[in-house]
Amino acid sequence: MKTAALKAALLLLTSTVALAQIPPLPPGVPQDFPLTPRSRGPVPMQPPQTAQPFLPVDPLAQQALSATASFEPPVLRLMRFGEYRVTILGSSSGIELPDPLPAPDGLILDLTDKAPGTSIINGRRVMTMTFRYTVAAARPGTFLVPSFTATVAGTIVTVPAAQVIVQTPGPADLPYQPVKAVLDLPAGDYFVGQMLPARLLVFDTPDETVQAIANVTKPSGDFLFQSQSGSRRERIAWEGREQSALVTPLRLTPIKSGETDVTLQAIVFVNKLNLVGRSSGNTAQAMLDTAPVRVRVRTLPEAGRKPGFTGAIGKFELGRPVLSAAEAVVGDPITMTVTLIGEGNLEAIGAPTIETNETWQSFTPTMSVDRDVFSGRGTKTITYTLIPRVTETRAVPAIPFSYFDPERKEFIDLTIPPQPVSVKPSGAPPVPTAEIPAAAPAPEPEAASPKRAEPILTGLAEKPGAWRRSPSPIAWRGWFWAGQAAPALALLGLWGWRRRVDFLATHPEIVRRREARAAARSHLRLARSAARRRDADAFVTASIDAIRAAAAPLDTTEAQSLVLQEVLAKLPSEHDATVRRLFAHTHTKCFSGHGVEVNGVLELLPEVQRTVAVIERHQP
């Protein structure tokens, strides 16, 4: 019990000493800086190092190492972040603390940062190193971080114990304050089509600081809405006091008259602060809605409208119009650049037009806008392309233009004045395109500086080039694809030929049969011819040759060497008589030595043809 009481007394003493080491607030820090609980008064802040008088670091004091530990604040509300500090006196390097620290159950300590410094001890300046931990508790109660040892360049240093009391928030405590989003839209009447100078403000609080704004949308209100890229931090005077806020410029354009509420929605990224005002290392993302802002939108007055009004609402000035050339040629285009400078709906302004007439031909002008997103001020550049039609032209005509001033609530005339130009007939030599101010006869010094040459219409082609029937590629015509078939068919034919040749090389009987049939046909033709001539001997010879050719076996045997028996072996018996008679006729003629009876031989022609056909049919 005694030991416990002693420890408690030591703890209290250590904490008291630690608190005593925190100097008073430096100048410039608000004395009403909120605390948790807010009723406890200002939070002591670490003084800037420059506030201490300069003393040289005492090397002897460096040898006396010691440590302190404390909670800030010593009484913490649940669900809030506090700070646990461990300060090593006597050194700022070579320090090793246990990781993790011996924290009691229910208390979470996260190292946030560590910072070297100096302290004055007994009139001597010594080096220090302070470790800051973010503290959060899971439940109310009293938590004791016990004493532990740290190592400083091999020397053991004992860090004393420290205690923190965690309580549930009471009715006197201020609630947690998240960041707040506000639509900054000045009060007043607006007009349909006017670009409103609106901003989205997200204010920091003692508990949170906003890091970034993303994805701004407009869930309500009859407005055209466009979020601008980029945000910046500003000190904003709001509700009677100056506050830090992240500001995003917006472009809101009412599209309907009447009273309407405008609200915005945005996703913000915040950094949660501890009760000392430092980052706790915890970040969060939240979707915020702004409070509705009621605005009254009116239609533009019909009375007092001036010529050339194309929807411009704001405050504008006209820059000096610039012609691309002081001299022009009939039929050749020139350009005129007009700049409109000011604040308002620059993007929505339609270009005032030059009507095409017998003097000038006009094309639809081109436009571009360059705007500073934060100030809202910008420049609209309108470029006209004009072609003079007659040489009597002396100037580009005036272009009516006017805008509506929402502050003065009246239309202001801003007509673009006529620009003098000299027009020559088309046969004249070309005029070099140097950009000079149209209103001034001589170029100004800045006009002489090198500029990017404007594109011009080039000359005519001197030669026609290759003639063809159509501008389309040849692939668009059928003959091209039909022509692709020629080489394909050639290769295909070659492939077929090769296959046939290879096939016949492995099947020579087919070749021989074909040759035998061809020979038989040839002999039959001779036989028919002989029959027509009534030449019996020639007929018999040709007929026997035809029968022999047809009957020749499919090997290397010569057809002329076949004898009667070999021929008869190839024939059915009913055809024997014709063959025997023909052979008999030949044998008689060859071996008897006298004339042969030829009666009826020539009538054998049909039978010979049938015999040849039968032999061919019976060949394998």
Partner 1 sequence: MTASRWITLGVLLLFIAAAFSIRSSRSGPFVEFFRAKTAIERGDNQAARDETNATSARQVAPGLLHNLGNAEFKLGKLGPAILAWERAHALDPGFRNTTANLRFARGQAGLSEPEYSWEEKYSAMLAPDSWLWMATIAFWTAAALLALPALLKRRRTAWTQGGAVVAIGVFLLTLPALTGIYSRGKLGVVLAPETTLRLTPTKEGEMLGKLAEGELARVEKRRGDYVYVRAASDRAGWVRSGGFATIWP
List residues near partner 1 by CB under 8 A.
330-331, 333, 335, 356, 361, 363-367, 385, 387, 426-427, 455-476, 480, 483-484, 487, 490-491, 494-495, 497-498
Q: How many residues does the chain have?
A: 620
Secondary structure element (H or E) that encloses residue 527, with its range = helix 508-533
- 276, amino acid identity: V
Give kind and range of the element (H or E) at residue 13. helix 2-21
- Whole-number minimum distance, CB 361 to partner 1, in Å? 6
CB 419 to partner 1: min, Å: 18
3-class SS of residue 432: coil
Q: Are 245 and 237 in contact (CB under 8 A)?
A: no
Query: Which letter does DSSP use for residue 206 in this model?
Result: S
CB of 468 to partner 1, least distance (A): 6
Taking the least distance from each CB to partner 1, the nearer of 39 and 426 is 426
Tokens 């309407």 -> residue:
260
Q: Report yes or no: 116 and 156 within 8 Å, Cβ to Cβ.
A: no
Residues 384 and 356 sit within 8 Å (Cβ to Cβ): no
Of 54, 129, 36, which is closest to residue 90 (Cα–Cα)?
Answer: 129
- Helix 508-533 vs helix 536-551: angle between axes, to the nearest 10 degrees? 170
Q: Quick one: DSSP state of residue 399? A: B
Whether residue 470 contacts residue 340, with contact meaning beta carbons closer than 8 Å, is answered with no
Structure tokens at 448: 């002489």
Beta strands at 293-298 and 327-329: parallel, antiparallel or unpaired? unpaired
Estimate the crossing angle of helix 508-533 against helix 478-506, to 10 degrees.
90
Please name the residue that has the structure tokens 């509300």: 77
Residue 59 and residue 252 in contact, taking contact as beta carbons nearer than 8 Å: no
State which residue, 67 or 423, has the beta carbon closest to partner 1: 423
Those residues with Cβ within 8 angstroms of residue 280's Cβ, 6 or more apart along the chain or in another chain: 81, 112, 134, 271, 272, 273, 274
Phi, psi of 452 (to 5 degrees): -70, 125
Nearer to partner 1, 409 or 500 (CB): 500
Structure token digits, residue 179: 């960041």
* Rounded-to-10 torsion of CA 539, 544, 550, 552: -150
